[in-house]
Chains A and B, each alone.
Chain A
């Protein structure tokens, strides 16, 4: 079983454009996210990352372009597509007055899991994140890092093929950040999961990650870490990011 894994395309975005009224938020965006891979969507604030996420999750509707999730067109086959998707939004979406367990049970109900399966999956995911002992606590009592862990556990309960993370480490202390970044990278490899991770924090990138640099709604560069650095004629991802996101300002 040590052979190379066959990677499948979990997310494909083709010629996607979107505007708020007359203001372009995304313009001709094209890229794919493959299984067992972390794709880091790098961009400064206002680059269009959250808009892109809202389009993938179909909170917004795209008029131009196509989004395919595990072979399902998000617009035409919304439910099939959404069943393959796990999401961690930038803003906490947990119910503060409910316990960890109640929040997770609500999610499993929305995804139609039987109570037996739900119980088993909740235990698995919480144990993986060392949160099982805290399942009876109210979300309000947890710190920022633990809340994030619960949200990640929740996003994985229905075994999605693609995990979307919208700046999941914002506002966390350094140890919590490191542990979440490490955990997510492990998940991608061990569970054949495709991860699309929006961030503006360069230190969250691992050498094996794929990178998409988004600025002012356009993709400035994409590829492996080396390809992005070479493509921008710089020496580090930090320099590449700065050059690509500052050079075109104005």
Chain B
């Protein structure tokens, strides 16, 4: 096995995912509509109700739309991660997953390639969303749009790995609806995507603690700080560790002797 083999395979996997994405235009549009509805309607409505005090990385009072934007970028990645895992379950049911799993490369590499393929799609979506937000006068410093790239990649692979992990334990496509209710919504609402941590503490200490330890919160904070040209070390390491943990469990889940392949029967 040489390095070229690895590169060609990864190129093939990413190419296939991007091609699928380009073909499914409705997927692209719906992935954008969701955060835009939150931005244009929800955030506009809540602007008056929720005041956001000065807290890092912001140096001044900000509008609620400005606060919520990094959270909505995180939302794009969260949904994308889950969408990728949904496609893994679908591929497995349809059999095309088998073609991937019987190719002569280590399984961790194949899963990682799938993950990177999914992340490249979500990064593209995030930038389109940020561009629309810019026209809506939610402007970050120009270098922030550069710094956000590694943050998007890390948060994307972390959420994608969570999706992979879930897909390795979900036996059928029908069970996926449960993921929406039990993973996506709690993760999103119990995070700093919509409200700052200190604000949550005012209403419930438990909720504050849950939100603090929610890896999605840390991914959102990583995105938020990087968009304003700052590096949040705690959020970075928290997201990184969560990624390593989720990915390890996912690889075990896809191991023929331990994971889902056996359970599938």
Which residues of A line the B interface, CB within 8 A?
20, 54, 57-61, 63, 78-83, 85, 87, 89, 91-95, 97-98, 102, 105-114
Contacts and interface: CB of A to CB of B under 8 A. Distances in A.
B16 interface: yes
B98 A57 contact: yes
Interface string B244-258: 000000000001110
A95 B16 contact: yes
Contacts of B205: none
B16 A106 contact: yes
Contacts of A113: 8
B101 interface: yes
26 contacts: A57-B98, A59-B102, A59-B261, A60-B256, A60-B261, A61-B255, A61-B256, A61-B257, A79-B1, A82-B102, A83-B104, A87-B102, A89-B95, A94-B96, A97-B23, A102-B16, A105-B12, A106-B15, A106-B16, A110-B12, A110-B99, A111-B103, A112-B1, A112-B4, A112-B5, A114-B4
B233 to A, nearest CB: 38
Interface of B: 1-2, 4-6, 8-9, 11-13, 15-16, 19-20, 23, 94-96, 98-106, 255-257, 261-262, 265
A83 B9 CA distance: 13
A170 B20 CA distance: 29
Given A61-B256, A110-B103, 16 more contacts: A58-B256, A60-B256, A82-B103, A93-B95, A93-B98, A95-B16, A95-B96, A97-B23, A106-B15, A110-B12, A110-B100, A110-B105, A112-B6, A112-B8, A113-B8, A114-B4
Contacts of A87: 98, 102
Given A59-B98, A59-B102, A109 B256 contact: no
Nearest to A83: B104
Contacts of A98: 16, 19
Decide if the interface of chain A is mainly helix, strand, loop or mixed.
loop
Contacts of A58: 101-102, 256
The list of the 10 closest CB pairs from A to B, nearest first, reads A109-B12, A112-B5, A61-B257, A83-B104, A110-B103, A82-B104, A61-B256, A91-B95, A93-B95, A79-B104
B249 to A, nearest CB: 18
B102 A79 contact: no
A83 B105 CA distance: 9
A74 B257 CA distance: 13
Given A82-B103, A95-B96, A109 B262 contact: no
A116 B89 CA distance: 33
Contacts of A91: 94-95
B25 to A, nearest CB: 13
A105 B8 CA distance: 11
Contact of B262 (A60, A83, A105): A60
Contacts of B11: 109
Contact of A109 (B9, B94, B101, B102): B9
B261 A107 contact: no
Nearest to B9: A110
B86 to A, nearest CB: 16
Contacts of B261: 54, 59-60
A63 B13 CA distance: 31
Given A60-B262, A102-B19, A106-B16, A79 B105 contact: yes
B146 to A, nearest CB: 31
A59 B256 contact: yes
Contacts of A112: 1-2, 4-6, 8-9
A82 B101 CA distance: 10
B23 A106 contact: no
Nearest to A164: B102
Contact of B106 (A79, A89, A110): A79
Contacts of B95: 89, 91-93
A106 B16 CA distance: 7
Nearest to A59: B261
Nearest to B7: A112
Nearest to B16: A106
A204 B256 CA distance: 32
A109 B19 contact: no
Contacts of B13: 109-110
